[in-house]
Amino acid sequence: MRKKYLDNIRWMTVVLVVIYHVLYMYNAEGVAGVIGKITDLKVQYYDVYQYVVYPWFMCILFMVSGISSRLYLEKHSGKEFAKSRTRKLLVPSTIGLLAFQFIQGYFNMSMGEGIEMLKGTPAPIAFLIMSVSGIGVLWYIQTLWIFSMLLLLFRKLEKDRLWKIGEKMNVLAMILFVVPVFAAGQILNTPIICVYRFGLYGLLFFLGYFVFSHDEVIERLKKYFVLFLIPAIILGILFCIANFGKVYADAPVNRTPVFLAYAWFACLSILGGMAKFGDFENRFTRFMNRYNFGLYVFHYLGISMVAILLVKPGIISAIPAYILSTIAAFTIPFILYGIISGIPVYRWMVLGIKK
């Protein structure tokens, strides 16, 4: 039976990501690669939202992806899993760059002097550079594909022995597991492009598969939901107080104990809380689940278009910029998904849709 709370975690988290990217585009905290501050405020206190969600929202997506991988493999072969994940994850994040995401690459490069630097570059080379620059939010599905392929190799070796051990993880073990999570956050972090955190996200993906795919473990999370929620709230407050104004997305902030402990307990409380209160379905949730992937893939393009075409030239001021960016982030993805999903072959290249 489908676990509806996992679907709800996905689309709700993606909505949080969209809101995050609107604020991120005009942040006053020095995060590079965006338009940056556009208000006259001495301090943009609402930017604290970025600090509240950033440590954990991608972590929970990787955990849910790990759980979903286990559920899928219980009814499908490894070959079917590899084929499905390659079509849904690898194709859009590679072929899709050349078929569509070069548009995002153009806007990304327009944030700074990237487009000016391409002048005089042969057209094919410039196109490839823009395509690679268009990876943007697709880093998540690229990383997820790598973890999925590693999972297939590891499954052949462990023969479900580790998965059966994962069923025994109790509440105390979950609490103490914050130590391995902290250790994972220190390793396999790529330089410059700080979103590729193979150590942290890899651990959470495999924990999702080997531990949190067990109904027994989820029942423990549900029962002791408040036990994880309280430290998550406390750690979140401490993290925001200690780091507001700093670049939260890169070292050293994203490798601190409070950052990683907050991420871990937030993920545990979200899984437990949603399993307890969010395991439902209605017309709206079905709609969001259907278009969730399109919203994730295309939302940043809507924000970027408003930022480059209207905000950067000074055509609109701060308040209209935030409003229009939010509207574009939540409307353009549905329009693009509706159009592209109806075009044979092209939908496979951009969205990994077979039919």
Report how far apart the first and last C-alpha atoms of the chain are (Å, whole number): 24
pLDDT of residue 306: 97
H-helix or E-strand spanning residue 196: none
Report the SS3 class of residue 135.
coil
- Compute the CA torsion angle 321, 323, 325, 326 (nearest 10 deg): 160
CA 196 to chain centre: 11
Cβ atoms of residues 201 and 188 within 8 Å: no
Residue ranges, the chain, pLDDT below 70: 1
Greatest extent of the chain over all pairs of C-alpha atoms, in Å? 63
Residue type, 249: A
pLDDT of res. 230: 97
Q: What is the pLDDT of residue 129?
A: 93
Query: Can you give the residue ranges of every domain in the chain?
Result: 4-351
pLDDT for 32: 77
Burial call 37-74: b when 16+ CB within 10 Å, e when fewer: ebeeeeebeebbbbbbbbbbbbbbbbbbbbbbbbeebe
Structure tokens at 271: 């899984």
Does the bond joining 122 to the residue before it have cis omega, within 30 degrees of 0?
A: no
Q: Are 169 and 144 in contact (CB under 8 A)?
A: no
CA distance 149 to 161: 19
Q: What is the pLDDT of residue 114?
A: 79
**pLDDT at residue number 22:** 97
**Under 8 Å between Cβ of 302 and 331:** yes
Look up the pTM and report it: 0.95
